[in-house]
Structure 1
Amino acid sequence: MSDPNSRTALLVLEDGRVFTGESYGASGTALGEAVFTTGMTGYQETLTDPSYCRQIVVQTAPQIGNTGWNAEDNESTRIQVAGYAVRDPARVPSNWRSEDTLEHQLATQGVVGIAGIDTRALVRHLRERGAMRAGVFSGSEVAVLAGAVTNTAELVERVRRSPSMEGADLTGEVTTPTRYVVPAAGERRLTVAAPDLGIKSNTPRMLAARGIETHVLPAATTLAEILELGADGVFLSNGPGDPATADAVVALTREVLDRRLPLFGICFGNQILGRALGRGTYKMRYGHRGINIPVIDHTDGTVAITAQNHGFALEGEPGEEFDTPFGRAEVSHSCPNDGTVEGVRALEVPAFSVQYHPEAAAGPHDAAGLFDRFVDLMTNPTGAR
């Protein structure tokens, strides 16, 4: 018989809190920032979202893996999270689209996970203390003697020595090394250049459905390369890390604004546009992650339920107008829960952005019309705003 202690896994937080469970997926060590997501569905999209690079994702919903795994729902070419924590993983998936199990994918892709812990207690802890550095340890990393873990203090110190998300420049870890094209569905109406900051697969599909050919470019692309494409607009994608480190993309965005090329940004792209307009960013206590977050559009007072994943935000007040190097701009969207800036809009150049995910798969679709607004901006740059 195998030693039951060999299945022991620990989730260790930098403040010293330890959760004991069982190994799930690969064995070994995972270090990253512990964050939680409240979605009851969409775990595959979450795991393959590049925005979660170097993060240990905690699923609030207890039952995970029920629908298995299939290639169609991937948001990138691989699992992007640093580690994974669940309470009650499915023993056998049940869905007509399932091609594999979640645990097998985690193990095959080398993602260290933990199961059988009280994830809701962990989420409450993170809500009170804030997102923090963490580690998942299993296999030979966990020393068990007479049923007790003996190296907990050592593991806490390893977590405390790991890099913080604040100041992390992660764009280079997730961007495409070479450009690729996602063709329009049917007749091509427009061409968009999309520097890859961590783009999800569903975004070019949403653009393609509107007759847009999307050229996904390495993050280090230049304005000259964008102009060479004859792009009708520029899309700034979601992505991981601290926006305060993204000086090169901010500089590119300012060049795009100078040329008055229509621009649309989401999530990390919202923070990039905000910085280009002169706003600062800050680290949130525990961020917004899930598929049920309300957002107010201050241009018409409507409220959308949105999918979000961000731990940083723009400085500003709901509905505020402010001066920029490109004329006046406004904080166009905010979260009624905490007043966080959820979108900005330039009033004198054709550019806008939102902090949430209008392309969300397995999430609310209230904001999908923002892609139509982008089309309007590209076809009528002076009148669509």
Structure 2
Amino acid sequence: MTADTISPLLGEHPEDAAVLVLEDGRAFSGRAFGATGTTTGEVVFNTGMTGYQETLTDPSYHRQIVVMTAPHIGNTGVNDEDPESHKIWVSGFVVRDPARRASNWRSERSLDEELRAQGVVGISDIDTRALTRHLRERGVMRGGVFSGPALLEHGYPRRIESLVQEVAGAPAMAGADLTGEVSTPQAYVVEPSGPGAPHTVVAIDLGIKSMTPQRLAERGMRVHVLPADATITDIQALAPDGVFFSNGPGDPSAATHAVALLREVLDAGLPYFGICFGNQILGRALGFGTYKLEYGHRGINQPVLDVRTGKVEITSHNHGFAVDAPIGQEATAPHDGGRYGRVVVSHVGLNDDVVEGLECLDVPAFSVQYHPEAAAGPHDAAYLFDRFADLMSSGARSASGLSASDATDAASTKEN
């Protein structure tokens, strides 16, 4: 853009105008959607064609402005049954064509109404395909959505430079420790809701989605959900059969408490299962590094290879960081001279060869980078909850070979 101010972006109806500005100076014009005002955050894109309500309420999107690549959003409205948490967590929402009316028998209100009610600033009627291509080429970056009075300064359209400066002042995702901002303030219990071994599981809430403890409870487990600042004493007081670490936002390298806590869990010999952020925390607890992906994986159609079986699973993802561990070979976990023994990369992303799962061979711990609870999304990985149950029941030193991918069909039937 060569203009000094945003005047060319306001169009014929400046009262409805909104502008998305990236930290590299690229700007997109559109219309206000949801609340009006200013919001900043890391701009990321989600390729899912369904499940926008689950996306909005996923705590892993804390401090992120989410771009939906599917063109039509809001068709099914909003209801009170599908949220993954008690509120919308995204910093901002970007869509191309918002539905003019919601049309679904479960709908209770429109998406626009929900965004307004929760004060979420959004923008519509922009070229989300061009924006996504830009983010894929340049990498995700900070951005801001501005609408209403936020577009003016002293009654005149603001200068592009001032908007870029405001965006640049927003905190970066790298180095951010955010789990304490999204975790439950108090412990709570999800009671068993289905048949299975009556295991007691402690789930550490690093940004947990509500469907996850439900999936555990469906398999007969009593789930004690504890805050992110829980201690090993808090965990052991519940005499759990296993420990689960959830998904969550932020940079795993900054989550020092979670890493230290997981090492105490491993030292105690408690079976461990982690997903998403919980996979990155296991990687760091074992002594591997983590790094930021250029634009991350966010969607419900990501192909992942189960290295042991050779089976490909279609999975649900939401992560911008990954574990730096060797693929295709058994390795000794680097931490403290290898005190946690051998580890293998169990799952690999087929789009870019990113580590999508870890499996310890000498301690009862495993994790995956994606979301086996899959709401919304495919159920290919639902067997992993059965694997966790089998790990607790068997007393095995490793999850290797327990409830492998050939259990997928039975698990999917159970989900449906």
- Which whole-Å CA distance do the structure 2 matches of 1:165 and 1:150 have between them? 26
Structure 2 match to 1:254: 263
The within-5 A match list for 1:166-181 is: 166-181=174-189
In 2, are the aligned partners of 1:142 and 1:151 still within 8 Å (CA)?
no
Shift in Å at residue 206 of structure 1? Answer: 0.4
Q: Does structure 1 residue 102 correspond to structure 2 residue 127?
A: no
Shift in Å at residue 226 of structure 1? Answer: 0.8
Q: What SS class does the counterpart of residue 163 from structure 2 fall into?
A: helix
- Which whole-Å CA distance do the structure 1 matches of 2:159 and 2:103 have between them? 39
- Which whole-Å CA distance do the structure 1 matches of 2:185 and 2:291 have between them? 29
Q: Does structure 1 residue 367 correspond to structure 2 residue 395?
A: no
Structure 2 match to 1:228: 237
Q: 1:164 aligns with which of 162, 167, 172?
A: 172
In 2, are the aligned partners of 1:68 and 1:100 still within 8 Å (CA)?
yes
When the two structures are superposed, what TM-score results if normalisation uses the length of structure 1?
0.97
- Which whole-Å CA distance do the structure 1 matches of 2:34 and 2:316 have between them? 26
In 2, are the aligned partners of 1:318 and 1:333 still within 8 Å (CA)?
no
Q: 1:16 aligns with which of 3, 25, 28?
A: 25
Q: Deviations over 1:280-303 (max 9, x none)?
A: 000110000111111111111111
Q: Does structure 1 residue 34 correspond to structure 2 residue 34?
A: no
Shift in Å at residue 186 of structure 1? Answer: 4.5
Which structure 2 residue ranges, 5 or more long, are not aligned?
1-11, 334-338, 401-416
Structure 2 match to 1:242: 251
Over aligned residue pairs, what C-alpha RMSD do you find?
1.5
- Which whole-Å CA distance do the structure 2 matches of 1:221 and 1:204 have between them? 17
Q: Does structure 1 residue 382 correspond to structure 2 residue 396?
A: yes
Shift in Å at residue 149 of structure 1? Answer: 4.5
Structure 2 match to 1:7: 16
The AA in structure 1 aligned to 2:148 is: G
Shift in Å at residue 336 of structure 1? Answer: 1.6
Return 320-329 or 343-352, whichever deviates more: 320-329
Which structure 1 residue ranges, 5 or more long, are not aligned?
none
Structure 2 match to 1:152: 160
Structure 2 match to 1:207: 216
In structure 2, the CA distance between the partners of 1:118 and 1:357, relative to structure 1 (3 Å rule), is same
In 2, are the aligned partners of 1:279 and 1:314 still within 8 Å (CA)?
yes
- Which whole-Å CA distance do the structure 1 matches of 2:94 and 2:194 have between them? 42
Q: What SS class does the counterpart of residue 314 from structure 1 fall into?
A: strand
Shift in Å at residue 331 of structure 1? Answer: 1.0
Q: Deviations over 1:361-385 (max 9, x none)?
A: 1201100110000000010121653
Q: 2:127 aligns with which of 100, 115, 118?
A: 118
Q: Does structure 1 residue 216 correspond to structure 2 residue 225?
A: yes
Q: What SS class does the counterpart of residue 284 from structure 2 fall into?
A: helix
Task: List 4+ stretches of structure 1 deviating above 4 A.
Answer: none
Structure 2 match to 1:273: 282
Q: What SS class does the counterpart of residue 20 from structure 2 fall into?
A: strand
- Which whole-Å CA distance do the structure 1 matches of 2:330 and 2:110 have between them? 49
The AA in structure 1 aligned to 2:378 is: P
Q: Does structure 1 residue 351 correspond to structure 2 residue 365?
A: yes
Q: What SS class does the counterpart of residue 308 from structure 2 fall into?
A: coil
Q: What SS class does the counterpart of residue 72 from structure 1 fall into?
A: coil
- Which whole-Å CA distance do the structure 2 matches of 1:165 and 1:215 have between them? 29
Shift in Å at residue 6 of structure 1? Answer: 1.8
Q: What SS class does the counterpart of residue 342 from structure 1 fall into?
A: strand
